[in-house]
Amino acid sequence: MFVGSFMRGQEATVTELQFSGTRRIKESFLRNLVDIEKGMVIDSVLMNRDMLRLKRLPSISHAYYKVNVLTNKTCKVYYVIEENFTLIPFANLFSSSNDDFAFRVGLQEFNSFGRNITLGAFYQFDNYSSFGVSVRAPYLFSNKLGLAINYNDFTTLEPVFFQDDTADYKYSNTGFELLGLYELNFKNRIELGFSFFTEDYDYVEGATSSGVPLNLNVDKHLFKFIYDYNGLDYFYHYLEGFRSQLNLQYVGSTNTNLPEFLIGFNDFTYYERVGDRGNWANRLRIGVASNVDSPFAPFTVDNNLNIRGVGNTIDRGTGMVVLNTEYRQTLIDKNKFVLQGNFFIDGGTWRNPAGGFDDLLKSENLRIYPGVGLRFMHKRIFNAIFRIDYGYGITKDGDNGVVFGIGQYF
């Protein structure tokens, strides 16, 4: 927005850029991030882009600009910041009618050292205990180049599917990941990195097969490439626009029972504002992996990942198509608190290990779960969205269940 007697057609030089509203964010960090600088001719296109860039930061809930026009075709520019509280606990709680209760809790600081560095740690209980720590610094070296480091020690009870039988295995995954982060331009960024990890499977109960070992301990390595196109616009908790996130991975293995494979998937998300208080949200995920005949296929059908209400890891596949669509309606919108209701339809289909792409069209692989939910939000705390969703399966052998979590589902 402009304040002052700025006249169309005149070019004014920026004599000063000031930030207001900053508390914990380092002003030097913000100056290095934005495009407008002292001595430049004022440019509303650049300033609008700066506002969008600032609103994408987890430490900022809203931003806008003011211009004070001076004499001699000069002006002062003011960037006004509304900061988020960024030390955030989080929790994901999930269960269904046939599953044991599971949860993940953790703590993240999204603005460490005032430079939007994310430090995080979590604890998970899903039959067994797990934990992880992470550091993500997208602007560590410059306003385009950064780094991410993750360490995870997962242990869960995983169902393994083969033929018409199922077995339960104690599954452990312990590993370290390093990623380089680079912003090509305002809307496009890439991530490139690798990880080393160990997978361990120990048979617990259920069916057995001569072709499926009871115990496996395999060292693996992974190379990852992520391409992110982000064309989203933000207004507090409302989103509008299109985003595409491509994830490609090569996983190498030291054991033929868990062979090497390629995997790739793309998330297409589209958001549209509906009136003043409505938001239509959509996510299409398409994925494919090496079509190995293995009970340890990489894509899973799971409450917390793709189909709300379906249960915790109820099936696996080597290909998938999943569509999540929901309408979000703000019911209460106060200065800091927001109550939002939503209704959704989650649907997906999977390719069986060693199966054909026609598996995606078979009714036995299709799952459709409509449902309803609530969102409790705080406008000044980053990602402070507590969600409750209930999904009910309407396809064959459909389950039902409640999924709790922090943050929007997508």
pLDDT in single tens digits along all 410 residues of the chain: 444 444 444 689 999 999 999 999 999 999 999 999 999 999 999 999 999 999 999 999 899 999 999 888 899 999 999 999 999 887 776 654 455 677 888 999 999 999 999 999 999 998 899 999 999 999 999 999 999 999 999 998 888 877 677 888 999 999 999 999 999 998 999 999 999 999 999 999 988 887 788 898 999 999 999 999 999 998 888 999 999 999 999 999 988 878 889 999 999 999 999 999 999 999 999 999 999 887 778 898 888 889 999 987 788 899 999 999 999 999 999 888 999 999 999 999 999 998 999 999 999 999 999 999 999 998 888 878 889 999 999 998 888 988 888 889 99
Q: Hey, CA dihedral for 180, 105, 263, 326, is it positive or negative?
A: negative
For residue range 327-384, what is the model confidence (pLDDT) as tens digits? 999 999 988 899 999 999 999 999 999 899 999 999 999 999 999 999 999 888 887 8
Residue 273, C-beta contacts closer than 8 angstroms, at least 6 positions apart: 238, 240, 279
Question: Rounded to whole angstroms, how far apart are CA atoms 304 and 299?
Answer: 13
Half-sphere exposure of 275 (CA within 13 A, CB side): 6
CA distances from 76 to 69, 80, 190 (A): 6, 13, 35
Give every CB contact of residue 335 below 8 A, 6+ residues apart in sequence. 379
pTM of the model as a whole: 0.83
CA gap 355, 298 in Å, rounded = 14
What DSSP element (H or E) covers 29? helix 27-33
Q: How far apart are CA 227 and CA 188, in angstroms?
A: 7
Q: Is residue 72 classed exposed, middle or buried when 0-12, 13-18 and 19+ CB atoms within 10 A define those classes?
A: exposed
Domains of the chain, start order: 13-83 (3.10.20.310), 87-406 (2.40.160.50)
CA distance 213 to 208: 8
Q: What is the CA radius of gyration of the chain?
A: 24
Q: Is 1 exposed, middle or buried (0-12, 13-18, 19+ CB in 10 A)?
A: exposed
Helix (H, G, I), strand (E, B) or coil at 30: helix
User: How far from the centroid of its chain's Cα atoms is residue 236's Cα?
Assistant: 17
Question: Could you identify the residue written with the tokens 């390719």?
Answer: 351
Tokens of 337: 């608190």
Q: How far is CA 340 from CA 281, 291, 323, 369, 373, in A?
A: 13, 41, 21, 20, 9
